[in-house]
Structure formats: C-alpha cells, structure tokens
Structure 1
C-alpha cells in the first residue's frame, strides 16, 4: 500500500512514474472480459453486449500497457463490426450483441436457429468516438505509426461534423451522439462525463482544426464545472437557450454511473492543466461525503445534493481515488484504493474499467501533461513489454 500512496503523491504532483510496468489488472481484464479477436464483452447482459465505450477504453489501456497486438485486435474488431468496415466514413455504432430471434411464418421464434449477432443500435456515442480518436492519435505519436495518426485525424474531423453543435452563448459543444439529443428547437441534452478535459484539450492542441476544438474545450469546461451546484455532477443535463444549464428531469437529475467518471477525469488532470483548479474545486462536497461515510455514494439527487442510501461499489472507489489524491488527501485516496481492492467476486465490465483507469493512474502507469498528451510509464522507465 505504501507503493500506491507514493504513486498517488507523485501522480498528483506530476513527478516521476512508477518503476514497474507490470499491469496484472489489464491482463486479468483481457482474460475475463475480452474475446480473442478484440471484443470487450459485458457479461452481465443477456445479449452479451459490446459498447463502443468499452472498445475505446480498451484501446487506451492497450496503449498504456504497450500492448500493440491487443490494440490492433481491438481496433480491427471495432472497425469491422461497429463501423461497417471503415472508420473513416462511419462513426462506430454504440451497441452490438446478440440479436433477438425473428419470428417464423407461423409467428413463433425458431429456437433451433443459431443466434444472430450484430449492431443493436446504430447511433454513435461521442465519448467513445472521442476516446478512440484520442487513442489513435497518441498511438501514432508513441508508436511512430502514421496510419493511426491519419485515422484518428479523420475520425476527429467526423466527430466535429456529426457530433457537435454551436449552442447559443455556449459555443461549439460536444453532443452525446449524432441523433436524439436536440429534443426541442431551443433545448439540448448533454452529458458532463462525455468530455474528459485532458482528451478534449489534446484535440485542441494536436489537430489541424484547433480553433473549433478550442471552442469545444471551452464549452466542455463549462459543462463540467457549471452543472454541479451542490458539488455532485449529474449524469445528464439540459441546456436551454437564454437559460443555460438546467436539471434533466427525465433522469431525475441523478448523478450515478455516468457521473462517477467526471471525478475520475478531473483527478487525472495534469497539475498545470489550465482547467484543473476549476474542475477540482467544483466537487469538494463529494470529498466531504467520502470523509463522512468512507465511500462515494452510488446515486445523488444533484438538485439538492442529497445522496441515496446505497454505497458506490468498488469501481466507484477506484474512480474517486485520483480526485482525492489530487486534492492532497492521500489518506482518503489510499482508503478508497483499499476498498477498491477488497472485492471478493469478480468485478463486472464497468467496475473493471473504472479500476483500470483509477488504480492504473495511482500506480503510476500513466499520466497526462497540460496539453492532454499521455505519458505511459513504458516510455520513461520501462522496457517494451510486448
């Protein structure tokens, strides 16, 4: 545990990386949650679904692990199955899995037929698309592979064209997807967890469309920091012309399984990142809750700041630990790391990815710089692992 605490301190201060690049959690994730051909599987679903978010995270983790073989398998599966074989022209569908059997001529399902698999919903999810583009751009830089850079650049351009809009008084803003998030002429539905500020910042510094991505970054900072009046981020929020951000009544303005990532992204910002102070300062009540209860809440009514009775699971603890460390509360961060490691049963897909992000960061396996570039430990202190 001392190693974790030291890593947390170094990560929060922008210091040296941990000396070892072994990542047992990543190897476990590949063994339990990924197919041999590069599909991340949510085993909790009867349809054995794969979401584009999971594919995007797997690309990032493979880059952090210097695991290019897995990176290529994940990329190929994503392109072939979610993007109709071409990520340059198609944003990836957000969900894929076992399809419901079709009824036969008599109206009955053929239970003897082999299950069919494919896209369940062809709409895209912009957070996944953003992480895929980011992983490709950074893989191109770190592995000196121009094809990754080219593909990431084209995907980022398609995100701008299909998944952003210019909102009045807010500017160009990332929408959660191409379809379904502009319910009224003067209303948009947004998601603060979809805009990790270091990732958006990198787009604004590394791509030719810098001015447009800078506008997306500026609106993203507002989306993250101005939608938590009681210090807890909502899963979803509305933006209305002439009124600004408003609670999303459809989701009861709840902060839960989406919002937990907002604290995670904030905690991993570089010490000199331009948005770090605002992002950290927005969520002090979350830290106060952890002090009082020993765990993050599973659900919060962000209209009042009132938490539900259930504790967030071990993945939630892994997600808030970097935020607590960034505040200088290494005692709280270490306690959440211990809680994250205390699980008996295997973690599900989502808890696993939260743990890979949070614990991998605190173990010093990667950090972000002020421009949003990632520095994996293998680039500074470790030999190539694969």
Structure 2
C-alpha cells in the first residue's frame, strides 16, 4: 500500500481543567436536534453569529494568502486540498464571495489534476508545486459540496458544473465494490489490496454526501452512504467503542484498526464526531459522545487521543478545535479564542457552522 496522503503532524494545546468544569456545568442538547445548513446565515444579533464572524475574519487573515492559497501553518506552510476545501466552505458560510472566488481560483490553477476531475492533495511552497499528486477524497468531497452550494447562492453556473464533474469523478475513481459493499476510498492510489481495503472513517462527510444524493439522485450515492454508515457502526473498538483513525475492511462484517498505523481515536477520527453531528448521524456519534461525557463527569479534560486497543490516553487535552467539536456534539461550552494553529482553528469554525 502506498503511503497515506495525509501524513500531517497535528499539534494540540492543553485546555486545562477549567474547560472540563465549564463543560460539565452546561446542559446537554439532543444530538438529533443539531441540524446543519451550510448555506444559511447566522442572525446578526446572535452571540454565536458575532463570534463566528470574528473567527472567520481572523481565520481568513491568518491562513489565506492574497492569491487564495490556504496555508497550513503547523506543517511548513504547505497547502492541501483539505485546507482549500475548508476555506471554500467557511467563506461560503461567511457569505464572503470574494474570498471564495480567490480560493476556488487558486485551487483550480494549482491542485486540479489533468487526468481526472480530482485534486492533488499536497502543494509545497518550497518547490512551488504539487509534491504528491494522489488525491484526498475528503478534500474533493468538500470542494464539490462548497462549489455546488456556492453556485446556488451566487448564481454562478460554472461552479455548479465543476462540482458535478468532481462528484462524477469521485464516484468513478474513489468508490470500489468489495465484499458486497460500495467502499469510499481515501484516495485513488494506495488503499486497495487483494485481501483488504484501507479506509478512513473521517472521510465520510455526511452533510456533503446527503447533498450529493439530493442533487444527483439516491441511486448514485445511497449505496456509499448506507454502506459507510454500516461500516462506522462496525468500527467500534476497545472499551469505549470508538473508531480508529484508519481501518481495514477484509469482509462484509470484518472491520479492524489498520495494523500499520497507531490504533487511535485521534486527530482524524475526531472528525467522525464533527461530520456526524452536522449530518444528524447520532447513531454513529453516540459512543464518542458517551466517552467524552464520561471524561467530563470525572471533572477531567478530554484527552487528545485514546488507543482503542490498549486504552492508553494522551497526557494532554484536546486542542481548541477538538474542544469545539466536543462542544458541538454535546451542547457544552466551546473555546472563545481562535487557535493560532491552522488545523485547530479550522475545526473551531467548522464546529460552529
């Protein structure tokens, strides 16, 4: 198997006991009641709206270059399809058409592959070019989602047309039939072996896939959605029944943590909670919510990761981004300061959308 397309070192920052205590004192909201609307606007009088608007301005000014490149400040200032996709989605939610257009233009000029309507995942400022042409399917999904929503909001048909071609390419190149299932690959190359397929549970961006099903028809996406939901229900490991960052599927019901990667519920798998909360998948997020609640009930910070095999925990807390995702899922307090780290700050804004 080729190297995974996402070998990014994620940094975390301890929140301390205060966040845990504050979270414990907030009432819990029903996960099923948390709906997501990427194209909606927050009311201007809402405290959440004012915080989100401030966060967006900070995020844009800190991480988006004048030409529209989203800069991963925690990893040598590289850019990748993940960051570009988040920038598009966040600009859309902020109703910032100018920034959306800049990010879309840079993405197409620098990451769009010539052989298929997908995006190279990694661009390095040292070489000023793509250093890994393999795609990251979650980035492609969010790009296609944001382009489709932007075409509807701003009446720009070319964005809608590009979204349609990307969606078709995802179905053609990133979905395989194995073990009686339709499996969503993390990338075109390096994840299918003769006896198993490697998947990333956090790449199932449920609100995007639901949107695709509405506009392309259920027949196009329902098998991917239903099999993905089933696989994530099977991907519950260890005492806390949590998904690992990477899994291997070797049979219809045979799902296990990927053996060549740390078996952790960590920096990737935390987005299972993010997309699950936004996509109303409470059946998928329930074990995560239960684990996080148990930490808060013990008046201790939620650890940044936990080994789903041994139970070992990180000796530091979730980043501000992880804390914001936990706040979204549980209905508890979220950090009020935007992280200076690209990944954590992105999670904060996505969790508040």
Q: TM-score range by the shorter chain?
A: 0.7 to 0.9
Counterpart among 113, 119, 131 of residue 120 in structure 1:
131
Q: Is the 8 A contact 2:117 2:165 kept in 1?
A: no
Shift of the 189–56 alpha-carbon distance from structure 1 to 2, 3 Å rule, reads same
1:81 matches 2:86 = no
- TM-score relative to the length of structure 2: 0.82
Question: 2:78 is matched with which residue?
Answer: 49
Shift of the 261–14 alpha-carbon distance from structure 1 to 2, 3 Å rule, reads closer
Structure 2: give runs of 5+ residues left out of the alignment. Answer: 1-21
Counterpart among 197, 201, 207 of residue 198 in structure 1:
207
Describe how 1:324-335 pairs up with structure 2 within 5 A: 324-325=330-331, 333-334=332-333
Question: 2:12 is matched with which residue?
Answer: none
Question: 2:13 is matched with which residue?
Answer: none
Shift of 1:250: 1.2
1: CA distance, partners of 2:62 / 2:32: 28
Q: Is the 8 A contact 2:234 2:253 kept in 1?
A: no
Shift of 1:296: 2.3
Structure 1: give runs of 5+ residues left out of the alignment. Answer: 100-115, 271-275, 326-332, 362-386
Question: 1:136 is matched with which residue?
Answer: 147
Shift of 1:134: 0.7
SS state at 1:307 partner? coil
1: CA distance, partners of 2:157 / 2:252: 44
SS state at 2:129 partner? strand
1:347 matches 2:340 = yes
Question: 1:285 is matched with which residue?
Answer: 291
- TM-score relative to the length of structure 1: 0.76
1: CA distance, partners of 2:210 / 2:109: 29
Describe how 1:1-386 pairs up with structure 2 within 5 A: 12=33, 18-20=42-44, 21-22=49-50, 23-46=53-76, 48-84=77-113, 89-99=116-126, 116-169=127-180, 171-182=181-192, 184-208=193-217, 210-229=218-237, 230-241=240-251, 244-270=254-280, 276-283=281-288, 284-325=290-331, 333-334=332-333, 337=334, 340-341=335-336, 346-358=339-351, 360-361=352-353
Shift of the 10–298 alpha-carbon distance from structure 1 to 2, 3 Å rule, reads closer
Q: Give the number of the structure whose alpha-carbon radius of gyration is greater.
A: 1
2: CA distance, partners of 1:58 / 1:214: 27
Shift of 1:260: 1.2
2: CA distance, partners of 1:245 / 1:14: 29
SS state at 1:246 partner? strand
Q: Is the 8 A contact 2:320 2:345 kept in 1?
A: no
Q: Is the 8 A contact 1:289 1:296 kept in 2?
A: yes
Greater alpha carbon shift after TM alignment, 151-160 vs 141-150: 141-150
2: CA distance, partners of 1:145 / 1:238: 40
